[in-house]
Amino acid sequence: MPSQKILIVEDEKNLRSVLAAILEAEGFSTIQTERAEEALAVMARDIPVLVLTDQRLPGMSGTELLRHIKERWPEIPVLIATAYGEIEQAVQAIKAGAEHYLTKPVDEGELVAVIRQALSRRGYTIPPHRQDLPRHGIIGESLGTFEMLEMIDLIAPAASSVLITGESGTGKELVARALHIASPRAQAPFIAFNCGAIPLDLVESEIFGYEKGAFTGALRTQAGKLEMVGAGTLFLDEVGDMPLPMQVKLLRALQEREYTRLGGHQPLRLAARIIAATHVDLAKAVEEGSFREDLYYRLNVIPLHIPPLRERREDIAPLVRHFLRRVCAAVGRPEMDIEAPALATISAYSWPGNIRQLENIVERLVVLNRSGTILTTDLPNEMRIAETERALPAGGTYGLHAVEREAVVSALNKTHFNQSQAAILLGISRKQLRTRMKNLGLIGDHEDLLGGEKE
């Protein structure tokens, strides 16, 4: 199926290529023009499914272009982007039949959502996009989480072993379950087995099962986890705690895809997919001799690392809201709000216990709350102290410097390095922004890359 063409009319070169990149990443193809007159000429021979135009253009304006398009191709949806504050223009555009108006700096999510809506209303099949990946209960908006969801989508159908690594509380088990649910094994069982939580001498019989009389107390034949799980997924949690003799047996079973119950002779087929997880550094355990190297490679066919929460802070706010909603529902209280400074403090904290810790703290905040809103003063002390230290280290200006740097970098990222737009976001002039970028060492070698755009 040829991809649907979207015509972009934007005179600012950087912004035009950013918009094109966003839409192309969503599976559309783009035609780009600088001016409205040129756009009309292009449309006379190559009809797009949708037009996205800037309002302020040299020559014919976006609204005038819109009127021309509506006369000749009334069915083509037109989106107009207006500068911040140009409400009057936006109203004019809507009156003239614009599908929607967007305020600059254009929000990527809004842009994509509006385009998809406009096209689906007109009966087009829309290319699937990354935010449509099934989430399997995994909340988060960070790049790290999107990459993880894509990875789950990619590797779920395979039978290869997966080794999930990550600090405790990062969501290893949740991801293992997601891999199972998204796989063709979803109808078969998922069994989680914690290798560290069972007495050493029982691990073997728990996993492989045993025959009646295999050892004292084996009064009847008992199936092991591998047998119970069948063609499902066996999740071996804390695999680093698996005793060495058991490691040998597991390796053999994985190589031969066969095993026997303890005390038994009849070979049973190993049909399950094995997903292992560890919060310790297994490579180091291999070096130290407490974990077998051959088993490590056998389990680590597909490595999947889950970053700690402090490395994907964009996930914190959505997770807080998710847990607030869930805990409030569970304890039968109306949904609670959280004040912005409290959310900022929570987002800045280091979260050594990751998502599990966040979940527990939200639960505590809800249960102890009287006012219906979570305030900064409700937060545990260690979090408030950490926040103060971060912003104002003893006796130095480095903290403020860091805060300023973070604000500037985040504004630049949000606007795809458009300095004029970043300045608007920060509420300063473009000249002030450039002075600050220089002071912060953000411009220098890259000056040419970042410069060259119009005021």
Q: List the end-to-end C-alpha distance of the chain, in Å, as a whole number.
A: 40
Number of residue whose CB is nearest ligand ATP: 171
Which region, judged by CB under 6 A, interacts with ligand ATP, from 88-96, 162-170, 204-212, 331-339?
A: 162-170
What are the angstrom distances between the C-alpha of 3 and each of 26, 126, 253? 10, 9, 48
Residue among 366 and 411 whose Cβ is closer to ligand ATP? 366
The residue (of 66 and 358) whose beta carbon lies closer to ligand ATP is 358
**Is residue 191 near Mg ion by the rule CB under 5 A?**
no
Burial code (b: 16+ CB inside 10 Å, e: under 16) for 373-382 equals ebebebbeee
Do 306 and 172 form a contact (C-beta atoms < 8 A)?
yes
Which partner in ligand ATP, Mg ion, none is near 378 (CB below 5 to 8 A by kind)?
none
Q: Which CB sits closer to Mg ion, 139 or 392? A: 139
CB of 279 to Mg ion, least distance (A): 8
CB 3 within 8 A of CB 129: no
Per residue in 347-365, is it b (16+ CB within 10 Å) or e — as a string?
Answer: bbbebebbbeebbebbbeb
Residue 195: CB minimum distance to Mg ion, A: 11
- Between 173 and 314, whose beta carbon lies closer to Mg ion? 173
Which residue, 48 or 140, is less far from ligand ATP as judged by CB?
A: 140
CB 132 within 8 A of CB 271: no
State the minimum distance, in angstroms, from the CB of residue 35 to ligand ATP: 46
| 5 binding ligand ATP? (CB under 6 A) | no
| Closer residue to Mg ion (CB): 174 or 218 | 174
Build a one-symbol-per-residue string for 327-356: x at contacts with ligand ATP by CB under 6 A, - elsewhere: ----------------------------xx
Closest distance of CB 393 from Mg ion, Å: 35
Q: Which does 170 bind (CB under 5 to 8 A by kind): ligand ATP, Mg ion, none?
A: ligand ATP
CB 374, min distance to ligand ATP, A = 19
**DSSP letter assigned to residue 262:** B
CB pairs under 8 A, 24+ apart, for 337-342?
A: 337/372, 337/373, 337/374, 338/373, 338/374, 339/373, 339/374, 339/375, 339/376, 341/376, 342/374, 342/375, 342/376, 342/378, 342/379
171 binds ligand ATP, rule: CB under 6 A = yes
Cα–Cα distance for residue pair 121/321, rounded to 1 Å: 31
Closest approach of Cβ 366 to Mg ion, in Å? Answer: 23
**What does the CA dihedral 54, 56, 62, 64 come to, rounded to 10 degrees?**
180
- Answer with the entry of ligand ATP, Mg ion, none that 62 interacts with (C-beta below 5 to 8 A by kind): none
Torsion region of 367: left, alpha or beta (phi above 0 gives left; psi -120 to 50 gives alpha)? alpha
φ and ψ at residue 148, rounded to 5 degrees: -65, -45
CB 246 within 8 Å of CB 208 = no
Tokens of 369: 């709350």
Question: Contact with ligand ATP (CB under 6 A): which of 35, 279, 390, 414?
Answer: 279
Residues 197-216 that bind ligand ATP (CB under 6 A): none
Does 172 help bind ligand ATP (rule: CB under 6 A)? yes
- How many residues bind to Mg ion according to rule CB under 5 A? 1
Pairing of strands 29-33, 50-54: unpaired
Q: Which stretch binds ligand ATP (CB under 6 A): 90-98, 102-110, 161-169, 425-433?
A: 161-169
Buried b / exposed e across 46-56, counting CB within 10 Å, b at 16+? eebbbbbbbbe
Please tell me whether residue 170 binds ligand ATP under the rule CB under 6 A.
yes
> Which of ligand ATP, Mg ion, none is residue 308 near (CB under 5 to 8 Å by kind)?
none
Taking the C-alpha atoms of residue 417 and residue 432, their distance in angstroms, rounded to an integer, is 15
**Judged by CB under 6 A, which of 133, 139, 181, 191 binds ligand ATP?**
139
Residue recorded with tokens 């007159």: 37
32-40, 138-146, 207-215, 384-392 -> range binding ligand ATP (CB under 6 A): 138-146
Residues 124-183 that bind Mg ion (CB under 5 A): 173
Which of ligand ATP, Mg ion, none sits in contact with 366, Cβ below 5 to 8 A by type? none
List residues binding Mg ion (CB under 5 A). 173
List residues binding ligand ATP (CB under 6 A). 137-140, 166, 168-174, 279, 319, 355-356, 359
